[in-house]
Amino acid sequence: MSRRKDEAGTFELLTRLPHQIVSLAKIEYQNAKREIITKAKRAGIGAGAIVVALFFLFFMLEALVIAAIAALAIVWPWWLAALVVAAALLLLAAVAILGGIALIKRGNPVPEETLDRVGGDLSAIGEVRVNAEPTATHHSAREMPRVGEEGNWR
């Protein structure tokens, strides 16, 4: 079986391979960049829609506060109704602030559970090393290095 003159041989194909791999990588990078940009634009539009919704929710809450004042103004004078609603909002804000402060104080950023597990793993490794059978150099278990003595393996 012979090849035609317009077909490339094995060595020629192998010399083209690095260039083709680099070209493929560049094309894939451009495709990934284009895809990320498209998805980021979509996410930005979604975030904008949420901001608009929050804007309308803010004014809706103001309307509900005004409605609460108007409802209480039927029974009490309008200034007393406004004062009671303002006090209730102040109380809700204080509860939210105190709850937030308590959550922040409890949120210790040190990964204590992970540190405990790593410490346990290191202890287990040290015990395995200490309790290991004597090696080919005929060291006894007492001569084997221990974790924690003078801060390093000895």
pLDDT, one tens digit per residue, over 121-152 is 778 777 765 665 555 555 544 455 555 545 44
How distant, in Å, are the alpha carbons of 14, 118, 121, 148, 154 from that of 114? 50, 6, 10, 19, 27
Q: What is the pLDDT of residue 154?
A: 42
- Mean pLDDT calculated for residue range 107-118: 74
DSSP, res 148: T
Structure tokens given for 140: 């006894």
Q: For residues 151 and 6, which has the higher predicted lDDT (pLDDT)?
A: 6
- Say which range, 32-46, 84-98, 99-113, has the weakest mean pLDDT: 99-113
What's the rounded Cα separation, in Å, for the pair 36 and 24? 18
What is the mean pLDDT of the segment spanning 85-105? Answer: 93
Average pLDDT, the chain: 81
Q: What is the mean pLDDT of residues 1-13?
A: 75
150: alpha, beta or left? (left if phi > 0; alpha if psi -120 to 50): left
